[in-house]
Chains A and B, each alone.
Chain A
Amino acid sequence: MSTMRTGGGRWLGVYVVAYLVFLYLPVLLIPLFSFNNSIQAAFPLQGFTLQWYTTLYGNSALSGALANSLVIAAIAATGATLCGITVSYMDLYGRSPLAATISAIARLPILIPGVIVGISLLILINLIGLGPSRIAIVLGHILVALPTTVVIMRSRFAAIPKTIREAALDLGASDWTTFRRVMLPLSLPAIISAFMLAFLISFDEFIVVFFLAGTEPTLPLYIWSQLRFPRSLPTVMALGTSILAASFVIAAIAEILRHRGLSATVPRPADPSQPKQTKRGELQWHST
């Protein structure tokens, strides 16, 4: 590695820093202006205030949307994680050729624009008589989060050395016992991280929810409705800052758990190909 650290590498480093600035600068404007004592989001800053945060409290429409989003995200993430576990486990260890097909289809939504996922579910829920509702949103979000949970769980199961599962089976454990007592505990960090990422996906999702929401909006829908009124923009930014902070914390925990899970079972250095496969598997969205 050190042989490649040449003058070119330093320029590349400068570029990466500039790129990170491009990545973060617009996002960091939201917290900045949320403390600014002015309706308009423009420089120069008008002084520090917390009034936009105080208006967040006691806003019943907002807290209703927040509660709604949290409940939907929790249920949808649970569903997506359960489906992700079963689909990817059967894909890797099931003997049915159907399992591989299902696993491929489960990763399909990443190749369909959100607007089409939204309308196809809208038609479906109207056909089965549900209509736009919270259940419809949950179903939609399970679908949107499914590719992520399948990819995470699949790479996790693939990284567990085959010998561990074979040992359990040789010692007389049934398929179900092996899954429950061996494979599930070994993949627990990935399960938690899949759940958290699915939770965040659902919590932030707007494009699909736009079609499926009934009378009770989710938080992104509430934000969308507020974006049209200039007077409420500072409050939206205060709300956005709170969401940013929470998302950062959840993403960081998910990331730490995922790395801990990976390093815990990376096999001895005698087998250098193993970690690479793991990394590849993590990001292989299109290995159909």
Chain B
Amino acid sequence: MLLPGALVTFLLILFALGLVLFLAFRANDGSLLGTGFTVANFATVVSDPLYWTVTLRSLVIAALVTLATVVTAYPVAYYLAFHAGRRRGLLLFLVTLPFWTSYLLRVFAWKIVLAYNGVLNSALIESGIWSEPTLAFLNTPAAVVVTLAHAYAPFAILPIYVALDTIPKSLVEAASDLGARPFTSFRRVVLPNSMPGVLAAALVVFVPTVGDYVTPALVGGPASTMIGSLIQAEFGKANDWPFGAALSVAVMLVILAVVLVARFTDRRFGSRT
């Protein structure tokens, strides 16, 4: 009975990833699987400053997105867990609903907001704050951060909410009985206990944003090209699959390092997951 699921997972996931790893060590000769064995692809990835710059930029943008998303989502999750009462079900539904609408359209909506003749500019001019429209919104890394923080909001709220919801209420009561002020009991009891959820949220937001190439292309402009765009170009225009595969392997290694750090931090906080 396990067969179909096992086949899919092994063939599609492991074998496909294995192929990427294999291809990364081949030289490009225009054929599907390249030729020979070489580490030249990785040498280029490591020695060319372009890839360092773009990888670093992707990491910084993804980190900013993660930070913005988690920090803004935490109070919402907190409200859901401790204050929502009867409205909890409705609120949870409202928060997750945008997640099921087209990702392309959500990014596109931000393009409408931020464009030169867009909503934000016209609002600012109508209200007299600015006399003429500015180009400063669209095609900036900041636009990418805002758009992605918006797109991944439900991903961050849900794990934090679950972590907060499973904290026994008696812990908070005990803290206040022992004389802790609300803020102290939040800082010393609630926040540390919710850290596994915060880290899970950070991971679920961070990983897809590092490799994103759609959002930078639509609202980011050339100044915010991310590593996903470069990988995509190697498999498209540049037609150097082995090099693209090497770039992918490098990105996966970076993500693996981040995940391991997160796991380690998680354990330090005494994970209950």
> DSSP majority for the A interface?
helix
B231 in contact with A24 (CB, 8 Å): no
Contact with A along B183-219 (1 / 0, CB 8 A): 0000000000000000010011001101111100010
Asked if A186 lies at the interface with its beta carbon under 8 angstroms from chain B, I say no
Check A43/B228 contact, CB under 8 A, given A83-B5, A206-B104, A223-B105: no
Chain A interfacial positions (CB closer than 8 Å to B): 1, 4-6, 8-9, 12-13, 15-16, 19-20, 22-24, 26-27, 29-30, 33, 40-44, 79, 82-87, 89-90, 94, 96, 98-99, 102, 105-106, 108-117, 119-124, 126-127, 139, 142-143, 146, 176, 179, 197, 200, 204, 206-207, 210-211, 220, 223-224, 227, 236, 240, 243-244, 247-248, 250-252, 255, 259, 276, 279-280, 282-287
Q: Which residues of B contact A114 (CB under 8 A)?
A: 208, 211-212
Asked if B158 lies at the interface with its beta carbon under 8 angstroms from chain A, I say yes
Q: How far is the CA of A204 from the CA of B106 in the complex (A)?
A: 11
Asked if B72 lies at the interface with its beta carbon under 8 angstroms from chain A, I say yes
Q: Which of B75, B83, B200 contacts A5 (CB 8 A)?
A: B83
Q: Which residues of A contact B121 (CB under 8 A)?
A: 42
A120 in contact with B102 (CB, 8 Å): no
Contact with A along B117-131 (1 / 0, CB 8 A): 111011100100000
How many A-B contacts are there with CB distance less than 8 Å? 266
Check A240/B105 contact, CB under 8 A, given A4-B83, A124-B19, A279-B162: yes
B112 in contact with A115 (CB, 8 Å): no
Chain B interfacial positions (CB closer than 8 Å to A): 1-6, 8-10, 12-17, 19-20, 23, 32-33, 72, 75-76, 78-79, 82-83, 85, 89, 91, 93-98, 100-106, 108-110, 112-113, 115, 117-119, 121-123, 126, 150, 153, 158-159, 162, 165-166, 169, 172, 182, 200, 203-204, 207-208, 210-214, 218, 228, 231-232, 235, 241, 244-245, 248, 251-252, 255, 259, 273
Q: Which residues of A contact B228 (CB under 8 A)?
A: 113, 115
Q: How far is the CA of A122 from the CA of B119 in the complex (A)?
A: 39
B259 in contact with A111 (CB, 8 Å): yes
Name 13 A/B residue pairs within 8 A (Cβ), A-sorted: A5-B83, A16-B75, A27-B105, A30-B112, A40-B117, A86-B1, A86-B3, A89-B1, A96-B2, A113-B251, A115-B248, A283-B200, A285-B204
* In the complex, residue of chain A having the shortest beta-carbon distance to the beta carbon of B116: A42
* Given A41-B112, A120-B248, A206-B103, 7 other A-B residues pairs in contact with their CB atoms under 8 A: A12-B83, A120-B17, A176-B1, A207-B214, A223-B104, A227-B108, A255-B96
Q: Which residues of B contact A210 (CB under 8 A)?
A: 232
Q: How far is the CA of A99 from the CA of B1 in the complex (A)?
A: 11
Check A204/B103 contact, CB under 8 A, given A12-B83, A41-B118, A115-B228: yes
Q: How far is the CA of A12 from the CA of B16 in the complex (A)?
A: 46
